[in-house]
Amino acid sequence: MRLRTLNRSVPAILLTAAVGLGAAAPAGAAQGSAQHAGQLQQEADAIHAAGAPGVLVSVTTPNGRQTVRAGVADTATGAPVPLDARFRIGSATKSFVATVVLQLVGEGRLELSDTVDRWLPGVVTGNGNDGSRITVRALLQHTSGIYDFAHDLPEIATAAGYQSGRFDVYTPAQLVALAMKHQPTFPPGTGTSYSNTNYVLLGMIVNRVTGQTWAHEVDARIIRPLGLRHTLVPGTLPFIPGPHAEGYSTFGGTDPVDVTVLNPSMIDAAGSIISTTADLSRFYAALTDGRLLAPAQLTNMETTIPAAQLSVFWPSARYGLGLAWFPLSCGGGYFGHPGGVPGYQTWDATAPETGRTVVVSSTGDGSEAIQLATNALVDNEMCRAG
C-alpha cells in the first residue's frame, strides 16, 4: 500500500528570513522560536553525549530553517562543526539514484519489470545468481536476494584495511563481482535483504539506458535543477571539498581513527554522494511533494513493504523504491532514507503534508545509543505542533 505521512496542524513557527532582514516578528513567535532553538540544541547535545564527536541538525518548515550543532568538527583542534558542513550522505544516495531510475520509467525508456539481464546480460550470474529472474523493481526494493558486496570490503572492516586501501579505486563491475562470489540470500522476490549491490547495478543500468554515468544523470536531473550548490558526486575524489567535520571510526575497537579521506568508488551508486543539511532538506522536500517525479512514479516510490532490517531500530518501518517510511509516536509517519559510511551517519525525514523536514548529520560509527538519540530528535521535531 502507499503510505502517506502526518495529518497534523500547521507546523511550529521558526525564526523566518523576514525577521533576519529586520521585519518585526510577533512577540509570541519570537519567544516560541527561541524556546524551540533551546530544545533543538538539547536534542543535538544528547546525540553528542551518546558518543557522536560532531553533530549538525537542520529543521525546515514553511516558515524557515533552524540549524544547531554540537560537539566538534575535529577532535584534535576542538573546532566547531561548520554550520554549512559538507558530509558523506551514505545510503541517502539511493534516493537520488532511485529518482533517476523512476524518471527514466516515466519517460518510457525503462520498465520496473525489466530484468537485469535485459540491460546487463551476463553480469549477475554464478553461484546461483540469475539476472534473468531479478527485476529493476527488485533492485530498488531490496527483494533481489543479491549478496551485499560491502561485507567483503577490507577498507571498511578494519583500521589496517582502511589505512592500506583508502585510496583504492573500484569499478562498479568489480563491486558486483565481489557479490557474485556468494550465493543469493534467498530466491528473487521471496524476501527482503538490504544490499548495496542492488544500487550499484542500478547505476550500471542507468548508464546502459542513457549512455551517461549515473553521476551525470543525478547532476543533470536533480542537483542542477534544484540548485543544490553544495551537493556533488565525487567519483574517485577521496577528499571532502569545502567546510566539513572530520569523520571517525573505531572499527569495533576503542581508539577512533580519522577516516575522512576515503575513495568513494568503493560504494559508488549505493552511497557516495556528498551534501549538506540544507541541500538534503531541499531534495527530500522536492521529491516527496512531486517536483521530481510524475504522480505514477512517486506512487511507485512510496508504495512500501515491511523492512525487517530497518525494524531492528524502527518497529513497523517500511521500504519503497529508494525511500523508506517510519512511524511516529504522535501517529502517522515520515519518509526518508538512513545513510552511513565510515565516519559519517545521516538521517533525514520529511512530511510533505506539513512541509517539515529534518536532517541530522553526525560523525562516528553510529552506535545504538547514538541512533536512539537521533530517533528521539527526529520524532520530537516531526511531531512538533507549535
Residues in the chain: 386
CA distance 239 to 170: 16
Catalytic residue among 58, 91, 249, 265: 91
DSSP of 75-110, one letter per residue?
A: TTT-PPPPTT-BEE-GGGHHHHHHHHHHHHHHTTS-
Torsion of the alpha carbons at 197, 203, 204 and 209, rounded to the nearest 10: 140
Neighbours of 127 (CB within 10 A): 11
CA nearest neighbour of 257 among 369, 365, 368, 366: 365
Cell of 173: 563491475
Cell of 164: 592500506
State yes or no: is 265 an active-site residue: no
Report the amino acid identity of residue 301: M
CA distance 364 to 380: 23
CA distance 72 to 48: 9
Cβ-based neighbours of 319, under 8 Å, separated by 6 or more: 141, 142, 192, 304, 305, 306, 307, 310, 325
| DSSP assigned state of 52 | -
Answer yes or no: are the C-beta atoms of 142 and 193 closer than 8 Å: yes
Q: Where do we find the cell 549477475?
A: 124
Catalytic residues: 91
